[in-house]
Chains A and B, each alone.
Chain A
Amino acid sequence: MNRRVYLDHNASTPVHPEVLQAMLPYFSERFGNPSSVHGFGREARDGMETAREQIADFLKVSKDEIVFTSGGTESDNLGIKGLAAARGSGHIITSQIEHHAVLRTVQTLEEQGFTATYLPVDGDGMVNPDDVKKALRADTILVSLMGANSEVGTLQPIREIGRITREAAVPLHVDGVQTVGKVPIDMGAFGIDLLSFSGHKIYGPKGVAGLYIRKGTKMASIQHGGEHERRRRAGTENVAGIVGLGKAVEIRGRDMAVEGARLTALRDRLWEGVRAGVAEVRLNGHPTERLPGTCNVCFHDIESESIVLGLDLKGIGVSAGSACTSGNVEPSYVLEAKGLPLDWAMGSVRCSLGRGTTAEDIEYVIESVVPLVAKLKTLSPVAGAAPAVS
């Protein structure tokens, strides 16, 4: 029987057993509509408000500043479009390596007359705070940057950027979908006005998320209907999901620090093991300012999907940096923005560790990947040629 090792936690995570337990009653016994005034409604509303409190406690913000949504994607859309709609026009600063939920939202706003600057990143995938400062204009209405990149895990210098945006009195949106619950965020010190976070990246359910909106931030709704979420997001709330999200966040508050240290050690062991066994390999992302569980590596002259398939056959789930869709391959735009040459970027593989990952798992992955890469290299007609960049 093959061992099974899941190293794709940046894509999604299994629901924590305590989260599942917390959610279950809200599917059947406490099924009421939280907007209803009777006891059934109150029970559902209480569950939802407990979740709001759990999240507010974790972020050290006020309960009223949390809005529930249907996912990280909606949180990003609501944050950016909601703020843009309240302003009517203006300039938005973001980066080239944002998740599509942000990039395509900003691009859509450009089509509607807003203007945008997409900041570059350095070789480690980091935005330079000075670039934010330089990009600011009199009509800048928003800076939107991710806390951590999902592909390479690099943490952005949000504290420094927050200082700049605060001084300029420009609202700062942080896509914290990969950040919240993984590394500490100090909402006050970082000067964050809008923060997206999502359940399924932190052992909560899929399709439920939140947006923190700092009190006083002028926003317009982008989804219209009832009076839910203090008229900021219409639609009957996903009560069971929200209860799960709240519990998941509470558990992160309890476990995050210890688990972060453990995953950092495992992540570094993985890189060391791969580096020791494979000749042409490089680590993507910042060497230290990086998500605890993220290890993105590039193998030279072999193609990521062949590695993903080879590891899949060994029961190991990782993700490919280059995505081949309908016979068209797109090297990762994040790696391109980092300035990685194509012959390297095509061979990138992301391993993202999580609470279930053990030291034995990591040794098994190292033992599997080293001979696999060696074998794929022997098949390659391009291997052995001088690498484009040393």
Chain B
Amino acid sequence: MRYSDTLIDHFRNPRNSGMMRAPDGVGEGEYAQCMDLARFYLRVRDGRVEEARFQAYGCGPTLAACSAGTEVAAGTALEALAEIEDGRIEAALGGLPPERRHAAKVVALALRAAARDAMARRAVH
């Protein structure tokens, strides 16, 4: 399998990994066929993501996609993040081999869920 330098860099040096205390939104994405699981925590200020952190179980590309996903999320408005597509994540990774597209899918899924969660919490407050 050939991976982009960007993907390898994210895998080697994952950005923003680990839990977050008292997040403003949490979301998970699961890709059952692969048993991949991604979880994102969001810190939100004025409707925008200030910081995103992740935890993940999966193959190398999935871990790398999570790392890239936190960078994509940071600075993004919740409404936009709630609609984020796989392609954005894939692009941020410098591409994915066709057999590993699920990595972007599971991350986009989790980010959308986290954004929706943050929006729901905001509505309650």
Please, which residues of chain B bring their CB within 8 A of the CB of A308? 60
Given contacts A327-B100, A329-B34, whether A382 and B57 have CB atoms under 8 Å apart is: yes
User: Is the pair B63, A306 in contact by a Cβ cutoff of 8 Å?
Assistant: yes
Which B residues from 5 to 62 make CB contacts under 8 A with A? 8, 11-12, 14, 17-18, 28, 31, 33-39, 54-60, 62
Q: Which residues of B contact A325 (CB under 8 A)?
A: 99
Report B's interface with A, CB cutoff 8 A: 3, 8, 11-12, 14, 17-18, 28, 31, 33-39, 54-60, 62-63, 66, 98-102
Given contacts A324-B34, A378-B18, A381-B37, contact A303 B57 (CB under 8 A): yes
What residue of chain A has the Cβ atom nearest to residue B18's Cβ? A378
**Contact: B56 with A381, CB < 8 Å?**
yes
Measured between alpha carbons, how far is A23 from B100 in the docked complex, in Å? 40
Contact B56 A380 (CB under 8 A): yes
In the bound complex, do residue A305 and residue B59 qualify as a contact, i.e. CB atoms below 8 Å apart? yes
In Å, the complex CA distance between A378 and B11 comes to: 13
By the criterion CB–CB under 8 Å, are B99 and A327 in contact?
A: yes
Q: Mark A283-325, 1 if CB is under 8 A from B, else 0.
A: 0000000000000000001110110111001000000000011
A379 on the interface (CB 8 Å rule)? yes
Q: Judging by beta carbons under 8 Å apart, are A329 and B35 in contact?
A: yes
Bound complex: CA A308 to CA B1 (Å): 11
A326 CB–B CB distance under 8 Å: yes
Is B63 a contact of A327 with CB atoms below 8 Å?
no
Known pairs A309-B3, A309-B59; list 8 more (Cβ under 8 Å).
A303-B35, A306-B58, A306-B59, A313-B12, A346-B35, A379-B55, A380-B56, A381-B55
A328 at the interface (CB under 8 A from B): yes
Q: Are B12 and A328 in contact, with the CB atoms below 8 A?
A: no
CA distance A165 to B55 in the complex (A): 53
Q: Max chain B CB contacts within 10 Å: which of A325, A346, A380?
A: A380
Query: Which residues from A are CB-within-8-Å of B3?
Result: 309
Interface of chain B, main secondary structure = mixed
Report the separation of the CA atoms of residues A380 and B35 in the bound assembly, to the nearest whole angstrom: 12
A326 & B59 in contact (Cβ 8 Å cutoff): no
Q: Are A310 and B59 in contact (CB under 8 A)?
A: no
Question: Do B17 and A379 have beta carbons less than 8 Å apart?
Answer: yes
Query: In the complex the two chains form, is A327's CB within 8 Å of B55's CB?
Result: no
Shortest beta-carbon distance, A241 to chain B, in Å?
29
Query: Residue of A at shortest CB range from B58?
Result: A303
Interchain CA distance A305-B66 in the complex, whole Å:
16
Which residues of the partner chain A approach B55 to less than 8 Å between Cβ atoms? 379-381
Q: What is the distance, in angstroms, from B59's C-beta to the closest C-beta of chain A?
A: 4
Q: Is the CB of B101 within 8 A of A379?
A: no
Which of B11, B57, B66 is close to A310, meaning CB atoms less than 8 Å apart? B11
Question: Smallest CB–CB gap between A376 and chain B, Å?
Answer: 8
Question: For window 255-296 of chain A, which residues contact chain B by CB distance below 8 Å?
Answer: none
Whether B60 pairs with A378 at a CB distance below 8 angstroms is no
Which of A313, A346, A376 is in CB contact (< 8 Å) with B8? A313
List residues of chain A with CB within 8 A of the CB of B31: 327
- A sample of 23 cross-chain residue pairs with beta-carbon separation below 8 angstroms, ordered by A number, consists of A303-B35, A303-B36, A303-B57, A303-B58, A305-B60, A306-B62, A309-B11, A310-B11, A313-B11, A313-B12, A324-B59, A324-B100, A326-B98, A326-B99, A327-B100, A327-B102, A329-B35, A376-B63, A379-B17, A379-B63, A380-B56, A381-B56, A382-B57
Tell me which residues across on chain B come within 8 A of A346, comparing CB atoms. Answer: 35
Name the residue among A306, A328, A376 with the largest chain B CB count within 10 angstroms: A306
Interface string of A356-390 (1 = CB under 8 A from B): 00000000000000000000101111100000000
B102 touches A302 (CB 8 A): no
Contact of B60 among A301, A310, A380, A382 (CB under 8 A): A310
Contact A302 B60, beta carbon cutoff 8 Å: no
B56 partner residues in chain A, CB cutoff 8 A: 379-381
Q: Which residues of B contact A376 (CB under 8 A)?
A: 63
Complex Cα spacing A310 to B34, Å: 19
